[in-house]
Amino acid sequence: MSTQDHYFTAEPASPAQQRTITVRLAGRTVEVRSAAGIFSPGGVDQGTAVLLRHAPAPPASGTLLDLGCGWGPIALTLALRSPEATVYAVDVNERALDLLRSTAASLGLDRLHASQPDGIPEDVRFDAIWSNPPIRVGKAVLHELMLTWLPRLAPGGVAHLVVQKNLGSDSLQRWLGEQLDPATYAVSRFASDKGFRILEVRRSAS
């Protein structure tokens, strides 16, 4: 990745250098496509591993979202664990999306849809959101992401977000509690592990 090239770049300029890597997802050993110019190209990063280890079982059906999907460890896990669900995977990095589409096709996960943020119809609501959000984009962009997507939880829907403690997990939890209507959303710390927090945002059923 060049000094100007970041994983949250829409069109990475660095050579793709595509390759296949082997990872464990949803209790299975699977082969996935990866490349330079994306987040954690060598495998499942520590924060995502914490989320996948501690998050509750996703809904068996319904509509699920991986926000900031990268090459897709969260989205692929959701699709493998909930084959009857529709899984959306969102990222601005088109290279990452192409890799995820290729992996999903090779695994027969035809209910997994990888797209740019504006590729998801505005009326879609999510029964679960799992995310390792891109903290390094800065607070303004991160906050905009949260306020764009968390209100799209369906009634009774739940989001789980993994954030490193020393990158502001506790302050993000406080901010979410201040910004989201407490009559509709409950914000809490769901779990802690290896310097990461999993934050839970639960929308009321009514």
> In the structure encoding, which two tokens stand for residue 66, read together?
């991986």
| Cβ atoms 77, 52 nearer than 8 A | yes
Q: What is the pLDDT of residue 8?
A: 52
Q: What is the pLDDT of residue 14?
A: 56
Q: What is the CATH number of the domain that holds 154?
A: 3.40.50.150
Q: What is the pLDDT of residue 9?
A: 55
Q: What is the pLDDT of residue 5?
A: 40
Measured CA angle at 76 (ends 16, 143), to 5 deg: 80
Evaluate whether residue 37 is within a structural domain.
Answer: yes
Q: What is the pLDDT of residue 180?
A: 98
> In the structure encoding, which two tokens stand for residue 106, read together?
């090779």
**CB atoms near residue 98 (< 10 Å):** 17
What domain range is 105 assigned to? 19-203
- Backbone CA torsion sign across 116, 134, 200, 109: positive
- Cα 50 from chain centre: 13
Evaluate whether residue 123 is within a structural domain.
Answer: yes
Evaluate whether residue 82 is within a structural domain.
Answer: yes
What pLDDT tens digit does each residue of the chain (206 aa) get?
333 344 455 555 555 689 999 999 999 999 999 999 999 999 999 999 999 999 999 999 999 999 999 999 999 999 999 999 999 999 999 999 999 999 999 999 999 999 999 999 999 999 999 999 998 888 999 999 999 999 999 999 999 999 999 999 999 999 999 999 999 999 999 999 999 999 999 999 98
Evaluate whether residue 80 is within a structural domain.
Answer: yes
Evaluate whether residue 4 is within a structural domain.
Answer: no
Q: Are strands 63-67 and 86-90 parallel, antiparallel or unpaired?
A: parallel
What's the total number of domains in the chain?
1
Q: What is the pLDDT of residue 15?
A: 57
Evaluate whether residue 6 is within a structural domain.
Answer: no
Sole residue written with tokens 């996935």? 32
Evaluate whether residue 7 is within a structural domain.
Answer: no
Q: What is the pLDDT of residue 137?
A: 86
Evaluate whether residue 10 is within a structural domain.
Answer: no
Query: What are the helix (H) ranges across 89-200?
Result: 94-106, 139-149, 169-179
